[in-house]
A = this chain, B = another copy of it.
């Protein structure tokens, strides 16, 4: 049995980011940037007013002065002339500061009188002026590759005058559920059979992680069927199998795919839930073989498939994020396997997260898994932990899982 960290390193080492595609700015939200975004202009393009008021020369704005208003400079309509001594230009937020003016008199610090304005305060030179390039200058790199684009980022790319962006292609993840006993929802269920749930849960997880799921038809527990289905998934960036528990799943997948050129990097991971996972390569396509139990499959997918999809997407490599929480109940000492215990995640009166393990941890209980707020991580050989101890947790719903 190898530790979770080593297993993840081995998965990630076998993966490379997808190549770039060009998408319109309106499709770029949530995508991972593949090339830097350099500003194509300077923002603001010239000195502009930060407030509504009057552009004038600071030396003219003494209390008691009376300045002639010679025009206006709203945003988008620069005043075409120059501000001379004793003159002012009505200006609005974002409007260009006209040549000659060196400060902005706020409108609440002025009294308008017909074609003139009377300052009631004296602004110092430079007040309320946003200098050209305050936000960015032409040529500045405003966004760097390897970043999942937020709403703000798409706004920034727009402001930098980019109608198109180069982003990594969404990784296409083939999902192959195997098993004689499973049917699709709504389809006839064979005697003793159950409805397939893992493929649909995994497809949601793939979307949540920024991938593009391809759900393959269910394969029977049969070497030829598995081999044919896996072949159909070979053009994916990664193929994920699940189940096949009826006849010893790992042997079956291995037996079916070995003759197809599958190079196996098999291991048992020192974790719970999670039986032995398969990771390997089917003639160039990385393959991750998950257990068939819903809880084991999902927990393993959170720990290995989400980081794999992120890596394929061009995001920085690494484990799924954890955060500290206070333990809501005593927990016993752990054995040599890293434990991922399903629990509730609440907040105490100070707003600190509190993680409380569920009493039942059976790996077939999908309803309980759906109700879990977090996975509480118990490292190998962790000593007994009293309520109130700090533990690390994986928050599930913030991952979209």
A residues lining the B interface (CB < 8 Å) = 25-26, 28-30, 41, 43-46, 50, 52, 74-78, 92-96, 130, 134-136, 140, 142-143, 149-164, 179-182, 184-186, 189-205, 207-208, 215, 221, 245-248, 292-294, 298, 323-324, 350-352, 362, 364-370, 372, 390, 392, 396-398, 400-401
Contact = CB atoms under 8 A, between A and B. Distances in A.
A236 B195 CA distance: 39
A136 B365 CA distance: 8
A30 to B, nearest CB: 7
Nearest to A142: B367
Nearest to A203: B26
A282 to B, nearest CB: 24
Interface centre among A93, A134, A155, A162 (most CB of B within 10 A): A155
A246 B25 contact: no
Contacts of A143: 370
Contact of A201 (B155, B180, B215): B155
A204 B154 contact: yes
A77 B181 contact: yes
A155 B371 CA distance: 12
A270 to B, nearest CB: 18
Interface centre among A193, A366, A390 (most CB of B within 10 A): A366
Contacts of A155: 197-198, 200-202, 204, 294, 298, 366, 370
Closest 10 CB pairs of A and B: A76-B181, A155-B201, A151-B204, A163-B186, A74-B246, A29-B204, A159-B197, A78-B192, A151-B205, A76-B180
Contacts of A366: 43, 135, 152, 155-156, 159
24 contacts: A26-B200, A30-B207, A43-B194, A52-B248, A76-B190, A77-B192, A92-B246, A93-B292, A94-B246, A134-B365, A135-B367, A151-B204, A151-B207, A153-B204, A154-B203, A155-B197, A156-B197, A157-B200, A158-B185, A159-B197, A161-B185, A161-B186, A162-B186, A324-B352
Given A76-B190, A158-B197, A323-B351, 5 more contacts: A30-B204, A44-B364, A152-B204, A152-B298, A158-B195
A332 to B, nearest CB: 20
Interface centre among A350, A367, A368 (most CB of B within 10 A): A367
Contacts of A130: 362, 364
A202 B352 contact: no
A180 to B, nearest CB: 4
A396 to B, nearest CB: 7
Contact of A159 (B46, B191, B292, B294): B294
A153 B351 contact: no
A157 B203 CA distance: 13
